Amino acid sequence: QIPNAPLVIEEIEVTPPQKNELRIKVIATGVCHTDLYHLFEGKHKDGFPAVLGHEGAGIVESVGPGVTEFKPGDKVVPLFISQCGECRFCRCPKTNLCERSWSSERYASMSDAESHFTCRGQAILQFMGTSTFSEYTVMNQVAVAKIHEDARLDRVCLLGCGIPTGYGAAINTAQVTPGSVCAVFGLGAVGLAAVMGCKNAGASRIIAVDINEKKFEKAKVFGATEFVNPSAHSKPISQVLHELTNGGVDFSLECVGNVAVMRSALESCVKGWGVSVLVGWTDMEDFSARPIQLISGKTWKGSLFGGYKSKDFVPVLVHDYMSGKIKLDEFVTHSMTLEQVNDAIELMKTGGCIRTVLNISTE
């Protein structure tokens, strides 16, 4: 795939799994905004050609030597954040980063230097270490979660990125408290998952902020209590929220990936104890704010994959879905085939979907 162009479907060669690796038959994958970010915004020259997709679920097809926790037939979710369990980050309870991940050095290109794919003799990169827009992918066992054998793969694929990212940002990173007032900026899948996290954490008011009012009905399903369209106001959104909440919200979550919105989200927080979390992925521009925002007692922090240690918690979230604690079905607005991937990308670009799931293979 080349940047700024429609995806093309090609036959590729996928290597057999080597030591500590498994080859996965991808059954279903979500189309996430981060795929679009790489294609249309990041466009890093070292990040192409690549197979995109990073929000998938599948079945183990074969395993390489040294793989003990997986066997062919297991249902799995490939993970864009590994969890080796041994590095200083994995051993630290404060973070879910891992030194064995592509992201520890290659944020810009968004892939590992090594790949398991070739096309007509040319190496093809694995986007975010996963590449779920492929019928088969090969991953190291430190970056795969084994999940319940009855899990519905065309739903739990969303637990590979968007839903834990938003949900965990509210639960783990912001640590939303019962009775608190929250604002969520951006009502894509990540923002709606953040709304769900605020609700499950017991927030009393959840203000959903988006310029696309068509998303407000959907936000209600996940627990939003109020809605604000910044475009409908002449004054800054932070001022609107201050007036609505007697001085600002307790928690705000930026789920867009836009540095101007990040600043608005911080400025929407109440002084003294307000917490604002950056959730939307971007690495293109600097963000800025006046120092008094933090000196006055606000906290500004970021969240990657909702703070979840990936191998430990994706199986837990699958269980939470199967037991009804978290919603997944409600995020899926469209189902398509791999051949329709460009239609799915167009839908997301125009805000016409929440999540499109591509059915890649049959089980």
pLDDT by position in tens, the chain (length 363): 666 788 888 898 999 999 999 999 999 999 977 766 666 666 667 778 888 889 999 999 999 999 999 999 999 999 999 999 999 999 999 999 999 876 555 556 677 767 888 888 888 888 888 889 999 999 999 999 999 999 999 999 999 999 999 999 999 999 999 999 999 999 999 999 999 999 999 999 999 999 999 999 999 999 999 999 999 999 999 999 999 999 999 999 999 999 999 999 999 999 999 999 999 988 889 999 999 999 999 999 999 999 999 999 999 999 999 999 999 999 999 999 989 988 989 888 888 888 999 999 887
**Other C-beta atoms lying within 10 Å of the C-beta of residue 235:** 10
For residue 127, what pLDDT is reported?
A: 86
What is the amino acid identity at position 153? L
For residue 105, what pLDDT is reported?
A: 59
Strands 117-119 and 13-14: antiparallel
Secondary structure of residue 73 in the 3-state scheme: coil
Strands 251-254 and 181-185: parallel
For residue 145, what pLDDT is reported?
A: 98
Q: Is 272 left (phi over 0), alpha (psi -120 to 50) or beta?
A: left
Alpha-helical regions (H) of the chain: 33-36, 153-156, 162-168, 189-200, 216-222, 237-244, 259-267, 292-295, 310-322, 341-349
For residue 107, what pLDDT is reported?
A: 55
